[in-house]
Amino acid sequence: MPKIHPTAIIDKEAEIAETVTVGPYCIVGPKVFIDEGTVLGSHVVIHSHTKIGKHCQVYAFASLGAPPQDLKYKGEETWVEIGDNNVIREYVTVNRGTAGGGGVTSIGNNNLLMAYAHVAHDCKIGSHVVLANVATLAGHVEVEDHAIIGGIVAIHQFVRIGAYAILGGHSGTVKDIPPYVMASGPRAKLYGLNLVGLKRHGFSSDVVKALKKAYKTIIHSPMTLKKALDLVKGDSIYNIPEVEYFVKFIEHSKRGVPRQWEKK
């Protein structure tokens, strides 16, 4: 049987695995599914329509599965889906999706969401992501694997943050941040590759060298973006998967990416 504190309130429609721990004064609403080994600290609220995977840790006053903060939402059945081994710290909020955004706000595996982080409706967070304190994601934001979002960061709706990118603290962005880069500032600018992160994750020197060349050509060149992308695609470095991914991310960006030579 799950270990449920006598002060906790559990809806009869909630499904809780046998090795789950539910702390004091928690509220678990209808259509909530919590898998093996997950621990809810005190005062956690799981509103409804939320799936939480195995061995997650949810700390005090976190709010998961509340309705989306979207005026278009009219009570449709939408969900939050959270994977395994996630750490969700104090006062984190994760809202359900909307019908217009696919109906699901999703969080992968092995993520750390620090205190007061906010994940809005229809966001898609990959795995091994860090959201530092008060990182704020608007609706429909995508954060790819191994990205790091610094503290007190605001990300505009529909923005994408690429894999292995790092967005420095007290930043804001209305544009997509490509994979493998460092970005910072109130209107975030790019500051080269995330070399420390790439080294920590075992990227070879040849891959880093090729990414540096692609970055310089695309981000710092005064030529048009299309011409810069075509130049890299015609180079032998495009045969390296990481370079191809870097190019395609930028090529498919709907919000655009920061470039040093873009017109003000």
What's the pLDDT tens digit per position in 70-125? 999 999 999 999 999 999 999 999 999 999 999 999 999 999 999 999 999 999 99
Residue type, 185: G
* Domain range list for the chain: 3-143, 198-251
What confidence score (pLDDT) does residue 260 get?
84
Q: Do 198-251 and 3-143 fall under one CATH topology? A: no
What confidence score (pLDDT) does residue 207 get?
98
Instruction: Look at the domain 198-251 and name its fold.
Output: Udp N-acetylglucosamine O-acyltransferase; Domain 2 (1.20.1180)
Cβ atoms of 13 and 31 within 8 Å: the answer is yes
Cβ atoms of 13 and 33 within 8 Å: the answer is no
Cβ atoms of 21 and 9 within 8 Å: the answer is no
Q: Which CATH number, 3.30.360.10, 3.40.50.2300, 2.160.10.10, 3.40.720.10, labels domain 3-143?
A: 2.160.10.10
pTM over 0.75: yes
Please give the positions annotated as active site.
121-122, 139
Residue 177 has pLDDT above 50, yes or no: yes
Residue written as tokens 């704020």?
136
What confidence score (pLDDT) does residue 264 get?
46
